[in-house]
Amino acid sequence: MADERQQSEDQPDVTGVPLESQDSGLVTDPSDQSPQDAAVAEAIAHTIDVEVLADLVEQQEAADAADTLEALEDDHRRELIEEMEDDAAALTLSEMNRPLAISVVQDLITEGKDEYASHLLEVMAPDDAADLLQGLDHHDRDHLLASIPAREAAQLRRLARYDVDSAGGLMTIEFTALRDHLSVAQAIEELRGAALPRDMQHLMVVDDQDHLVGVVGLRELLLNHPNALLADIMEKSVKAVRVETDREEVAAIFDRYDYYMLAVVDAQDRLLGIVTVDDIIDTIRAEQTEDVQKTVGAGAGEAVYSDLRTKLRGRFPWLGLSLLFTCFAGAAVLVGEDLIKAHPVLAFLLPVIAALVGNAGHQALAVTLRGIVLNEVRPERIMPLIAREGAVGLLSGVALGIGIMAIVTALSNFIESATWRIGLVAGIAAMVAMGVGTLAGSGIPLLMRRLGFDPAQSSAIFLIMVTDAVSFTTLLALTTLFIG
């Protein structure tokens, strides 16, 4: 019976259903609340007994346990981590939101429990531990590494030196590589003692100097003669990325070729680590949120749990720049002060048209940024793209301009300054400004990329300046020209 249970535990969980559920024939939805999650929720609802709660949290999946800790107050979160088994605590910490996980480590250091913090980093996956170390200052980082065995500390130092946005920052050094001079029988025997991930289908092959020379699949190891050499059966054409390759480029490679794993090498093609698809999923999510934050001037690395200093440092410079640019648009209103006094309905129309044009510009901006991220915007397609966006803006402007004319005409029954002539001018102004706004929405990120800047970086701030200035200036200028 024990042998059967052991065999069941060793077999891959290909269905995604917990093995105990498979044994009982119960199929569950992964999004449903598990009994463990329900027990934790009930325990928290009554009172937070750290010792009892720790036992319950340890039974949760690591990602669910991380959610539990993130919902607690800082003191309870730290106490719970200390009460949990070391392996479970380390795994849960690695699944937590990074700023919160870093704060837990910093709290442990502050309370003089740095040896325990070092131990958590030691039992954690090296790439996850390196991510946390990168969030600490150099003094705390060196202090923690001093309590970790020299070999593991050297590995973590090396990983922590890699840029977080590079392949080196993504890779893990926990992998199994086989020597090319091994026979199939020797390779299989070596794999018996290795901790292979359940979904590992291919293994890297290196020479005696750790140069990446090929890749071999588990299928080939099973089907070939035991005396066959890996050098003869391996696939010699193997894809790899340099350690300094940007993580966006690595993610694009995974997406384009449906890779599950990709080798990371140095300039001499020595194998340094591997990037797996789970890291890429995290990368894609991080890049998406980062690009969205950049477009509105929020810090690229800011998270919802980032500290006050990080939030201010990421946002305030762009808010100051936004103030400067907005003043240019506001100057058009000051210049037209007398005109607005003569036709008060303009005070109603100015923000309406500016909002419409701003929305149109942001629509064009979002679509263009998506095309840039997905590498769909080729040089030969730029002018047709801009022309098409301009046409969309003009046609939308015509329809909305007619709507504005109708609204102003209806207001003429109640407001003396709301004449049909003002409505006509406002409709024309909306059409022109909409065309310019959509052109700006598609053109600004393309121009920033052309100049060598990140196309996502605060594009929205520049766009708002353009759309507001164009909206105000167009309406006031046309009113002066045709009405006076």
Helix (H, G, I), strand (E, B) or coil at 225: coil
Whether residue 282 contacts residue 63, with contact meaning beta carbons closer than 8 Å, is answered with no
- Which residue numbers in the chain have pLDDT < 50? 1-24
Task: For the beta carbon of residue 267, count every other beta carbon within 10 angstroms.
Answer: 8
Residue type, 372: I
**pLDDT (tens digit per residue) in 75-123:** 888 899 999 999 999 999 999 988 889 999 999 999 999 999 999 999 9
Residue 5 pLDDT: 37
Task: Give residue 23's pLDDT.
Answer: 46
Q: Beta strand 261-265 with 240-242: parallel, antiparallel or unpaired? A: parallel
State both tokens at 71: 């919902």
- Residue 78's φ and ψ, nearest 5 degrees, are -65, -45
pLDDT of 312 reads 79
Please report which helix (H) or strand (E) contains residue 167, including its range: helix 167-170
Sign for the CA dihedral angle at 56, 60, 63, 64 comes to negative
Please give the structure tokens belonging to residue 432. 């022109």
Distance, CA of 227 to CA of 21 (rounded, Å): 41
Single-letter residue type at 371: G
Query: Which residue ranges form the domains of the chain, and what is each CATH number?
Result: 31-162 (1.25.60.10), 177-280 (3.10.580.10), 308-482 (1.10.357.20)
Six token digits for residue 95:
């699944």
Residue 7 has a pLDDT of 40
pTM beyond 0.95 = no
The pLDDT assigned to 432 comes to 94
pLDDT at 136 (0 to 100): 92
Q: Do residues 361 and 441 lie in contact, with contact meaning Cβ atoms separated by under 8 Å?
A: yes
Q: Which two tokens stand for residue 338?
A: 């007398």
